[in-house]
Structure 1
Amino acid sequence: MTPSLPTAVDQGTPVAAPASTPAVMPPATTSPALNPARALTAGGLAVLLLAFLPVNFTFGAVNLLIPAIAADLDAGPSGGQLVLSAYTTTFAAGLVVSGRLGDRYGRRRLLLIGLIAFGALAVLTGLAQSVVSLVALRAALGLAAGLFTPQVLTSIQATAPDRLRTRGIILFTAAGAVASIAGQVVAGAIAVTFPEHLAWRAVQVVTGLIALLALPGLRAVQESRSTAPLGLDLRGAVLLGGGLVALVVPLTLGPTAGWPAWSLGLLGAAAVTLTAFALAQRATERRGGLPVVPPSVLRVAVVRNGLLMTLLFFVSYGAILYEISQYARTAWGADGWGVAMVTLGFGGGFLVAALLLPGVLGRVGPRIMVYAASGQAVALLGIALVVALDDGRSAPPALQPLLIVLGAVQALMYGPALQTVLSRTPDWAAGVAGGLLTTLQQLGIGLGVALLGSLFHAVAAAAGGPAGGTAAANATGSGSGLAVGFATALTVQAGCAVVFALLAHHITRRDAAG
C-alpha cells in the first residue's frame, strides 16, 4: 500500500479556460473559473480513481508474491527485493518530469499513454522467463506508472469544482489504501487457486486488465493543461534517474552477494552521477531556469525537514510489508492467502484512520504527527517483542492488534506532515516542494525494501535462520534466526519513527512559540 497523498502541484486550467497561471503554485485551495460544461463530473472522478488503482495494486500484490517469483525464476532474496525496488525506483525517477509533461502536452493525453503502456507492460511481466527480464519489465512498469499517476491528481485539482475536488482528494488518498489491500487479497486468492509458478503470472495479467479497464471511460475526463507550463529539465531528470538506479541496485544485491566489484563500481557511478546532477541543478538555476530539484527550495528549512521526514517514513513503510510477508511465509509456513490475512489488519487500520484524518487533524492539530510517530515507534517495538517471543508455529494473537495500531498511526503521520510542511513553505517553493515530497515517497519505499530487507535477511542468516524466504523455518528449526532478523529490522524502523517525531516537534514548536 503506497499512501499517495495530495501534493502541491501547478494547478493549471482546462483548455477551455484561458485564465493565466503562475509557474509555481501553492497547494490548490480554490479552483480557477471553470466552464461548467468542461468541469470534472462525478463520473469523470470515478474514472480517474479507477485509473489510479493499479499503481498500488501491483505493489501490494507483488510484495506478497515475491517468494513465488523467486522460486519460479531461481532468484534469491536479493533478486526478489530488486523486483520490488526496480518498480518504485523508476516510478520515483519518472515523477520528477511527468507532471510537467502533462501540464505542457495535456494531462488526459499523458494519462492515456501511461495507462496503455502500464497495461501492456504488466501483461508482459507475466511472461518473463528470467529475473533479469522481469526486473527490466518492472522498471519500465514503474516509468509508466510515474507517467500517468501525477495526471490523476492534477486533473482533480485543476478541473473539479470546489466541492468535488475536496471529496476527490480524500477518495484519492483512500484509493491508495484500498488498492494495496485489494492487491494482497487478490494475489492471496489466486495463489491458493493456481499452482505457484502460474499464480504470480496471473496476477500480473489481472493488474494489466485493471489499467486497461479505465481506458474507455477517459472520454468522461476533459483535457486540461497549464497555461504556463514549467521547463522540463530533461538532463536533470536523466541524471537523477540514472543515479537512483545505480544506487538502489547495489544496495539491494550487494549485501547478500558479498559486495562484489561490480556493486562497488555501481555505487561509485551513483556518487558521480548524483554529484553531476547536483552541479547541473545549480547551473540551471543560476541561468534562471527551473531545475527538477531547485537548490533554492532545498535551502528552505521546513522543506529540508519535510523531505527528511518523508524519506524516513517511507523507508520504514516500504520495509514493513515486505518483512511481514517474508517472515509469515518462512517462519509460519503461511501460503499467499495466509499472508494476506496477516497484513489485512495493517491495511484496514490505515484505511480507517485515513478516512477519519480530517476530523482528527481539526481537533488535535499538526502535533498529531508527533504523537502518531511516537505511537509508531511503540507499536514497532511491541511487534519486535512479540516476534522475539514467537514459538514459530503460527501468528501470535497479539500481532494483529499491533498491526492494526501500526496502520492507523502511519495514516496519522504522513498526511498531517505533508499538509504542515507545505503550509509553512513559501508560495514560490510550494509546487516544487510538493513534487519532491511525492518523489521521495516512492524512492523511500524502494530504499526500505533494499536496505532494511537486506538487513533482515543478513541478520537472520547470521543468527542461524535461512537467508531467503523459500524454506519453512518450522521444519529446520531456524525460526529463532528469522525472529532475530525481523526484530532487528523493526528496531531500526522504530528509530526512524523517533527521528521523524523529533523533526515534527521542531516544525510544530514554532507554532507553539508564536
Structure 2
Amino acid sequence: MKHNYLKLLVILFGQLLTIMDIFIINVSIPSIQRDIDASNGEMQLMIAAYLIGFASFLITGGRLGDVYGRKRIFIIGLVFFMISSITCGISQGAVQLMISRLAQGISAALMAPQVLSMIQILFPIHEQRTKAMGWYGITIGIGTILGQFLGGYFSSLTVLEEPWRLIFLINIPICLIAIFFSVKIVEESRFSIKQSFDNWGVVLLSMGLFGMTYTLTVSEKEVFFVKNILLMITSVGVLIFFIKNQKDKLRNKKPYLIDFELFHYKNFNLGIVAVAFFFIMLDSYFYILSLFFQDGLMIGPLRAGEVIVFQGLGFILASVFSVKLILRYGKKALIAGLGFIMLILILQISFFNGPTEFYQLCLLLFLHGVGVGSVIPSLANIALSGMPEKLIGNASGVYNTFQQIAAIIGIVAVGSVFYYFLGEKPLIQNYHKAFTVAILINILCLVIVLVTVIKVPDDVLPQNIQ
C-alpha cells in the first residue's frame, strides 16, 4: 500500500502543474504585455487559451487513457506540457505565446483525467480512496497558492531583463522529475480489450467544445453580441450532432469517444450536477471577489493577493482533516461543509459592507477555504464511485469537462449580473449591492449542490460506525 502512495505522489505532480499554470500567469500580465507589446485583447486571449485547450480536450484525454494506457498518455501529456512551457518561455510575440498556452492547455487535458482514473484504480477501497482524494485536494490548494506566489515572485526579479519567462520555464524540472518517476514507478493500466480510436468523434467534440468555451471565455462583457450568439448556436449544434453520432456508433458497435453508459450510473449523474453548480459558485466567487476588493474596497492588488492566499491555506488544511470527518460521518460531513460555506458567504455580505479590517478579510477567506477544501475531493469520489475500469477514463474526462465549462459559465453569468447591478458609474454602495446579489446567486448554487448530495446513496460515502 505504501508503494501505491508513492505512485500517487508521482501522478499528483501532473495535477499540480495543471492547477499551477492556470494561476501563475495572472500576476505577470502587466510585464508580459509590456515586453511583447500585446494589446488588451491579445492578453485576454492569452489567458483564455489555456482554459479553452484544457476544457476542449479533457474527454478526449480520458478516452485516450482508456484505449492506449493511462500511464502512457500521462507521460505523453507531461512531455508536451514541458515542450509547450519552453515555447511559452521563449515566445517573442503575442500570437506565439497564445498558441503555446493553447498547447499547454491541451497537454494538461491529457494528464488530468489520468490522475483521477489512476487514483480510482490504485485505491479501490473506500477508506483508502478517501485518503487519496484528500491528497488530491491538498495538491489543488498547493497549486493555487504556488501559482500566484511564483507568478509574483518571478515577475519581480531584477536579475533578468524579462523575468516573467521563468513562470513557464519553472515547469521544466517539475516535468522531468514527474516523467522519470512515472516511467520507473507507475504501472500501466487500461481497458483490456483492444479498441480503435474515434478520430472523427475527436474532431466534432473538440470543435463544439472549443467554440463554446471560446465564446464563453472571451465574451465576458459582450455575451449578447451577434457574433458570440451565432458561434454559441453553431457550437451547440455541433455538440448535438456529436451526441447523435456517438449513439449511432455505440449502436453499430463502431469506435466511439463517449460511452453513454456513464449516464446510467446514478452516482455519476449526481456527481456531475454537484460539481457543475459548485464550480459555477466557486470560480464566479473568485472573479467578483477580486473586482470587489480592488475597485469596491480599494484594496491594492498585492494586498488582495495576500488575502486570497489565506483562502488557499484554509483549503489545504481542510483537505487534511476532512478525510477523517468523511470516514467518520459519511456524507453528513459533506453536508456540513456545504452549510459552512453558505454561513461564511452570509458573513462576508455583512462584514464587507464598508471598511473592513485586514485580519477580518484574511479570517473570512481562510474559513471559506476550509469549507471549499472539505467539499471538493468528495465530489469526484461521488461521481466516480462504483464506475467499472473500462469507463473510468471516460468518466474522469467528462467529469473534468463539466467542471471546467461550469467554471467559465459561472464567471460569465454571475459576472454579468455583477456588472448589471454595478451600473455605468458605480459608487461604493453599488459595489456592495452587486457583490450581495452575486453572493446570493452563489448561495443558491450551493443549495442545489446540497440537495444533490442529500440524494446520494449512503453507501457511496459510508459512515464508519464506532
Q: Which bracket does the TM-score occupy, shorter chain normalised?
A: 0.7 to 0.9
2:440 to 481, 491, 500: 491
> Contact (CA 8 Å) 2:217, 2:408: kept in 1 or not?
no
The offset of 1:145, in angstroms, is 0.8
Q: 1:188 to 1:398 in 2, by over 3 A?
A: same
Q: C-alpha root-mean-square deviation of aligned residues, in Å? A: 3.9
**Which position in structure 2 is the counterpart of 1:210?**
174
Q: What 5-or-longer segments of structure 2 have no aligned partner? A: 462-466
Aligned to 2:22: 59
Q: Are the counterparts in 2 of residues 349 and 406 from structure 1 also a CA contact under 8 Å?
A: yes
Residues 270-279 or 67-76, more deviating: 67-76
**Other-structure match for 2:143:** 179
Match of 1:94 among 53, 57, 64: 57
List runs of 5+ in structure 1 lacking aligned partners: 1-30, 32-38, 466-477
* Residue number among 184, 195, 198 corresponding to 1:233 in the alignment: 198
Cα 1:194–1:331, aligned 2, differ >3 Å: closer, same or farther? Answer: farther
| Residue 376 of structure 2, aligned match among 414, 422, 428 | 414
Match of 1:464 in 2: 425
Q: Deviations over 1:420-440 (max 9, x none)?
A: 444477898666444422332
For residue 25 of structure 2, give the secondary structure of its aligned residue in structure 1: helix
C-alpha distance after superposition, 1:244-282 (max 9, x if no partner): 221122223335247433222211211211111121122
Are positions 1:445 and 2:407 aligned together?
yes
CA deviation string 1:214-265 (max 9, x = no partner): 3444442355242335653333333222212211222233352474332222
- Residues 375/68 of structure 1: CA separation in 2 closer, same or farther (3 Å cut): farther
Shift of 1:85: 4.0
Provide closer, same or farther for how the CA distance between residues 232 and 457 of structure 1 changes in structure 2, counting only shifts above 3 A: farther
Give the aligned partner of residue 49 of structure 1: 12
- From the superposition, tell whether residues 169 and 95 of structure 1 become closer, same or farther in structure 2 (CA, over 3 Å): same
Count matched residues. 458
Q: Which residue of 2 aligns with 1:224?
A: 188
Which letter does structure 1 place at the counterpart of 2:135?
L
Distance 1:220 1:335, change over 3 A: farther
Q: Secondary structure at the match of 1:232?
A: coil
Q: Is the 8 A contact 1:463 1:484 kept in 2?
A: no
* Superposition pairs of residues 58-77 of structure 1, within 5 angstroms: 58-66=21-29, 75-76=39-40
Question: How many Å separate the matches in 2 of 1:126 and 1:329?
Answer: 29
5 Å-filtered alignment, 1:63-462, equals 63-66=26-29, 75-76=39-40, 82-128=45-91, 133-155=96-118, 170-193=134-157, 198=162, 200-222=164-186, 224-226=188-190, 227-228=192-193, 232-257=197-222, 259-289=224-254, 291-331=256-296, 337-387=302-352, 389-391=353-355, 396-423=358-385, 432-457=394-419, 459-460=421-422, 462=423
| Contact preservation (8 Å) 1:244, 1:270 | yes
Give the AA of the match of 2:76: I
Identical amino acids, percent of aligned pairs: 23
State which drifts further: 231-240 or 420-429. 420-429
My pick for the range that moved more, 66-75 or 441-450, is 66-75
Shift of 1:174: 1.9
1:71: Cα distance to partner?
A: 7.1
1:71-127 Cα offsets, whole Å, 9 max, x none, are 776554x76665444323322332213233234444444333322221222233345
Contact persistence 1:303–1:421 (CA under 8 A): yes
| Cα distance in 1, alignment partners of residues 114 and 391 from structure 2 | 20
Question: Residue 403 of structure 1: CA displacement?
Answer: 1.4
Aligned equivalents of 2:284, 2:57: Cα separation in 1: 22
CA distance in 2, matches of 1:136, 1:196: 24
Cα–Cα, structure 1 residues 383 and 244, in superposed 2: closer, same or farther, change >3 Å? farther
Displacement of 1:395 in angstroms is 6.1
